[in-house]
A and B are shown apart, each in its own frame.
Chain A
């Protein structure tokens, strides 16, 4: 009885009063005061528990749902992968479905015909393309849906939880495709429960809880805060929640974690434990961490990461990845991560150091805790310099010139000088 009455009320009010809100007893606010700006070309992740409003947010952005209050401004062609193959009709062939799905996503018939072969190839459907879609396995269905959607050439791609489906191989292919799109400047907004994808693919992340933005910012930090909340730990001591607005400043150290174990001091040292800020390629160095234990732990992992100044990860590892089983962490101590030869190309590098549980809950995560400069007299390029030699046989000969006489890149000299000053 009640249901029917509220439905009558809806139709009547919608028609007569232009009041599109559902009857109060039937409505739930899925999102409340979520404000954020996603820049062109950014990869933006959205995480949160089931029912926290993630999908609703995507639907609002895509225009499927209209917000009851507030504004959504979208500039650019949007393709929304809320559900792959949502528009497929089971009775007609894959070929015909590609056409219809493509038109629905905003392509013209001719544009689809042009992309047809590449869509079929990407999907890996093969000769099944001329079979009715109802004969497809669910994996094939999803593959075809994804293939069409990424060939629409959207400027903004909204992805909801769809990378979780399909086999490992296809899921890798999807991620590669998404990375390619990101590289081409497509703005990505995606919802997933696979937190690794957020960490690896996103520039920023948003954590939604009961329809409200709990944290926005660096993906690793937001994911950690989220994990902490989900695992039911005490509220984080980190300031992440306070930093809801504004992108993190990448040049400064960021730090978060529960504080049960703290990395008091993290430095780069040479093999004689002297602190270093600048070094030559191939130096023997160690990352030294002074650990303060406030609450003893039996589940703990130490990790380090080295990043190039442009943000690319040069190397990252932790004790868990390398098969070290935690036994006890009872009292203060020191951890040294020794690298007998750090073969890096000249440039500025940043180090992350962390101690966390094995499922990723941070005790203390220090992003960009230290920076160092690698200087070199050789103008080689890249990040990694393998140990190498040039050998020539037969009629090939070179005359060696003194490397010292050649120009050292100005940036490196500057960096070396400034780090020298800091030391004093």
Chain B
């Protein structure tokens, strides 16, 4: 719980570093912050074209919205974890030369990807509104639960990111391991397919062992299908978030003192 106190003390630093991260990312580019929106917008456009023109036979309709509801939380998770493998070593100067609370570095990664996620959501809602106005979809009241899911997911992502970022300093291979795991993860998470369409019960249970499964399924539930997340999924999300946070704190705490030397 030491971590939480430290975090509170450094909240201004966290906020300033996150703002710096977001500003620096687009400084010097002409479209600037618009790129945060352009990327999901393009993605949505491509999916819409591909799945209405090239593959009109869809498992659920409208498939682009279903896909988008799952892909946004997945991108938040995978991009944050992937970037975290580099977050401490790319700031070696800070760790080695300044008395600096190292845990802010992975958390800045989480926060800045959370901001990107939050900026992409309105695009999903606009797309939903357009589909709704064409009578192809409805906007569900359950979508109002998105902030709660985001909070739980952020805790889950933060724990993983803290563990991965500190371990990656000592174990450089982690970067490549994570990159490959993420590619595999995309397919063992029900993003492009429906978990209920899987014939084998055993396989469905195994898929739920993937901690991202209950999160993605729940986002799809509230955004696309318009019903509340299942009880099992909710409990799983809480359990995964708590376990991940604990893992993150323990690992980071044990490795903290070696960071400045090992980096």
| Chain A residues proximal to chain B, CB less than 8 Å | 4, 7-8, 10-11, 14-15, 18, 20, 22, 59, 62-66, 78, 80, 82-83, 86-87, 89, 91-92, 96, 99-100, 103-105, 108-109, 132
Contact = CB atoms under 8 A, between A and B. Distances in A.
Contacts of B262: 10, 22
B23 A65 contact: no
A11 B171 contact: yes
A101 to B, nearest CB: 9
Interface stretch (B37-45, B92-100, B130-138, B238-246): B92-100
B12 to A, nearest CB: 5
B172 interface: yes
A278 B27 CA distance: 73
A276 B35 CA distance: 85
Contacts, number: 86
A66 B261 CA distance: 9
A83 B100 CA distance: 13
Contact of A65 (B24, B98, B100, B261): B261
Contacts of A82: 96-98
Contacts of B27: 91-92, 132
Given A15-B255, A104-B13, A87 B23 contact: no
List the 3 closest pairs (A to B, CB-CB), nearest first. Answer: A86-B97, A91-B24, A11-B170
5 contacts: A14-B170, A59-B260, A87-B100, A92-B27, A103-B16
B261 A86 contact: no
Contacts of A87: 93-94, 98, 100
A104 B171 contact: no
A86 B93 CA distance: 6
Contact of B94 (A7, A8, A86, A108): A86
Interface string B75-114: 0000000000000000001111111100000000000000
A66 B97 CA distance: 13
A15 B251 contact: yes
Contacts of B210: none
Given A86-B94, A100-B16, A78 B99 contact: yes
Contacts of B94: 86-87, 104
Given A92-B20, A103-B16, A7 B97 contact: no
Nearest to A106: B99
Contact of B254 (A18, A63, A92, A108): A18
A15 B255 CA distance: 7
Contact of B258 (A20, A62, A100, A103): A20
B28 interface: yes
A103 B13 contact: yes
Given A7-B171, A80-B99, A64 B260 contact: yes
Given A103-B16, A132-B27, A8 B171 contact: yes
A15 B171 CA distance: 12
Contacts of A10: 170, 258, 262
Given A108-B12, A109-B12, 20 more contacts: A4-B173, A8-B171, A10-B262, A14-B254, A15-B251, A20-B258, A59-B260, A64-B95, A64-B96, A64-B100, A78-B99, A83-B97, A87-B100, A89-B20, A91-B23, A96-B23, A104-B100, A105-B98, A132-B27, A132-B28
Contacts of B182: none
A99 B16 contact: yes
B7 interface: no
Contact of A83 (B24, B93, B257, B258): B93
Nearest to A10: B170
Nearest to B96: A64
B17 interface: yes
Contacts of A132: 27-28
A171 B155 CA distance: 48
A89 B24 contact: yes
A92 B258 CA distance: 30
Contacts of A109: 12, 16
B247 to A, nearest CB: 11
Contacts of A15: 167, 251, 254-255
Contacts of A22: 258, 261-262
A63 B17 contact: no
A378 B13 CA distance: 60
A64 B98 CA distance: 7
